[in-house]
Structure 1
Amino acid sequence: MNKANKIDEFLSKLNHPLKAEIASVVKIIREVSPEMEEDVKWGGPSFDYKEPMATLNPRITDFVAVIFHKGELLNDTTGFLEPGPKGKAYAKFRSMEEVEKQKANLQKVVKDWIKIMNS
């Protein structure tokens, strides 16, 4: 099974109040680059580009949490990301409306990561 299908299989079995929002966030991240690697790690869908970039944490059920592992490298000028411990940063989505409203910011953060990894 290829790793992209691992995320799809994971999502198909996931019982989560924001399952549709999680699927949308996965789709938005996938649209940025076909070169990203996907897997299910640390209990959730994960995306790597040269090194681990972000993981969704489905154990949190009151919002969709996207953890950018090295968020301190991302120069987020939008205020979209919340700083976290150990250099991490979080994107949080509480509704489909928020997912759609923040789509451009989420894709910008992923594009910035790819630029940083390529420089």
Structure 2
Amino acid sequence: MAIKTALRLDYRLSHRGRLAAEMGANLCGCVRSEGAHVEEDRGMNQNPDVDRLMRTLEHPQKEAIEYLRTAILNVDPQITEQVKWNAPSFCYGGVDRVTFQLKSKDVQLIFHRGAKVKDDETPFAFNDDSGLMEWRTNDRAMVTFKDVADVTAHEEAFGSLVSRWMKT
């Protein structure tokens, strides 16, 4: 429950910060109990190219996309992001692992093991205990959410899924 609350707070703060920056406002994200202000910053693993893409993105589920972006980046500080296929894409150890597919009115994320299908000597196996993945090939799957309510209903399972997927 604490993870959910922290994620929601982090999403709201980062979303407010981006909105304030777009309007040229100065935003102070939170106040420490001693009264000292902590100025909000972009997360260390956020990419300014993705920030620019998100500012101009026109998608019916933009709020859900922003929420998921924050969720993915919060899973592990080693996760980085870039723009790939004109959408946010997330890497672990320099390898593309999860990419938004923004052609649908829903929110779709492609879980993959790099730009090309891998020819492994041993068959690839991944246990999706969340039930969120729809397998497209032996090592690529799609996760689809209808809206931000669907995302928040599955956020714990999704966070666990992303954490395990990034490290496979």
| Superposition misfits of 4+ residues, deviation over 4 angstroms | none
Evaluate the alpha carbon distance shift between residue 110 and residue 9 of structure 1 in structure 2; reply closer, same or farther with a 3 A threshold. same
Point out the structure with max Rg over C-alpha: 2
Q: Aligned match of 2:100 in 39, 50, 56? A: 56
Counterpart in 2 of 1:102? Answer: 154
Counterpart in 1 of 2:144? Answer: 92
Q: Which amino acid aligns with 1:42?
A: W
* Residue 25 of structure 2 is aligned to residue 14 of structure 1: no
Q: Which amino acid aligns with 1:112?
A: R
TM-score normalized by structure 1?
0.85
Contact 2:73 2:80 in 1 (8 A): no
Hey, what's the Cα distance between the residues in 2 that align with 1:44 and 1:86? 23
Gaps of 5+ in 2: 1-44, 114-123
What is the percentage of aligned positions where both structures have the same residue?
Answer: 29
More helix by share: 1
Deviation of the 1:3 alpha carbon: 6.0
Hey, what's the Cα distance between the residues in 2 that align with 1:107 and 1:87? 19
Q: Aligned match of 1:66 in 90, 94, 109? A: 109
Q: Secondary structure at the match of 1:8?
A: helix
Evaluate the alpha carbon distance shift between residue 73 and residue 10 of structure 1 in structure 2; reply closer, same or farther with a 3 A threshold. farther
Gaps of 5+ in 1: none
Q: Secondary structure at the match of 1:15?
A: coil
Higher relative contact order (CA 8 A, sep 6+): 1
The Cα RMSD (Å) is 1.8
Evaluate the alpha carbon distance shift between residue 73 and residue 27 of structure 1 in structure 2; reply closer, same or farther with a 3 A threshold. farther
Question: How many residues of Structure 1 are paired with residues of Structure 2 in the alignment?
Answer: 113
